[in-house]
Amino acid sequence: MSPHDHHHHDHGEPGLGEHHHIHSKLPSDPALRVKALESLLTEKGLVDPATIDAWVETYESKIGPRIGARVVARAWVDSEFKRRLLADATKTLDEIDLLGNQGQHMVAVENTPQLHNMVVCTLCSCYPLPLLGLPPSWYKSAPYRSRVVIDPRGVLKEFGVELPAETKIRVWDSTAEVRYLVVPQRPNGSDGMSEEQLAALVTRDSMIGTGLVSLT
Ligand code: FE
């Protein structure tokens, strides 16, 4: 199976070239159904689209990434755990039952003053769902997927992150089989903080590499 087979749809309809052409421009069936449902519920005044957006945002940025944040905080306070995480993230996370039988290979990459890691899926939107929840919409967008490879520093700047010129940037391209987790740098001045307090600082973007962790 090639890395991106899960996104390829062969409708097996020879002779329906025109239909297929139109179809390929529409969202995939589940997405289309959800959209149709949302439109209907909105039309009937049963839901407010802003409420749906707020829920999606909460799952993308608050609830979803909490598991990854706990992994990062543990790596910061437990050097033996960090060593094992960086050496074999799949095995280490599986031992504490964090991968939920997804059958994915996880790789953890550590940010240091010398090296900053960023994650993308250039072909589609592969993302470490068990650790980070739903991917943010920008992660799935064509501009992010294409530009982060060509100009990672420029993309980082748009996220409000400016790294020292001497910090190298490495971009990791996810596939259906291999997903990446960035272990961000622990912020200065966090020495006295508990693992739980540290976990609360870790943002989703910092684990994708489009953000840094700060004390505020
Ligand atoms: Fe993908």
Q: pLDDT tens digits, residue range 131-190?
A: 999 899 999 999 999 999 999 999 999 999 999 999 999 999 998 889 999 999 999 999
The CATH number of residue 115's host domain is 3.90.330.10
Spacing, Cα 174 to ligand 1 middle (Å): 6
User: Looking at the domain assignment, is residue 157 inside a domain?
Assistant: yes
Q: Which residue has the higher pLDDT, 48 or 17?
A: 48
Dist. CA 169–CA 148, nearest whole Å: 10
Instruction: Report helix, strand or coil for 171.
Output: strand
User: Looking at the domain assignment, is residue 6 inside a domain?
Assistant: no
- Pick from 160, 58, 173, 82: nearest CA to 121: 173
Domain count, the chain: 1
User: Looking at the domain assignment, is residue 168 inside a domain?
Assistant: yes
Answer whether 163's CB lies under 8 Å from 118's CB: no
Q: What is the mean pLDDT of residues 19-42?
A: 68
Give the domain extent around 86. 60-208
Q: pLDDT tens digits, residue range 70-111?
A: 999 999 999 999 999 999 999 999 888 877 766 679 999 999
User: Looking at the domain assignment, is residue 26 inside a domain?
Assistant: no
- Active-site residue flag, 24: no
- Active-site residue flag, 126: yes
User: Looking at the domain assignment, is residue 79 inside a domain?
Assistant: yes
User: Looking at the domain assignment, is residue 17 inside a domain?
Assistant: no
- Active-site residue flag, 124: yes
The whole-number pLDDT of residue 16 equals: 41
User: Looking at the domain assignment, is residue 49 inside a domain?
Assistant: no
Spacing, Cα 140 to ligand 1 middle (Å): 9
Spacing, Cα 4 to ligand 1 middle (Å): 6
User: Looking at the domain assignment, is residue 151 inside a domain?
Assistant: yes
| Distances 7 to 24, 38, 113, 161, 171 between C-alpha atoms, Å | 12, 23, 36, 32, 22
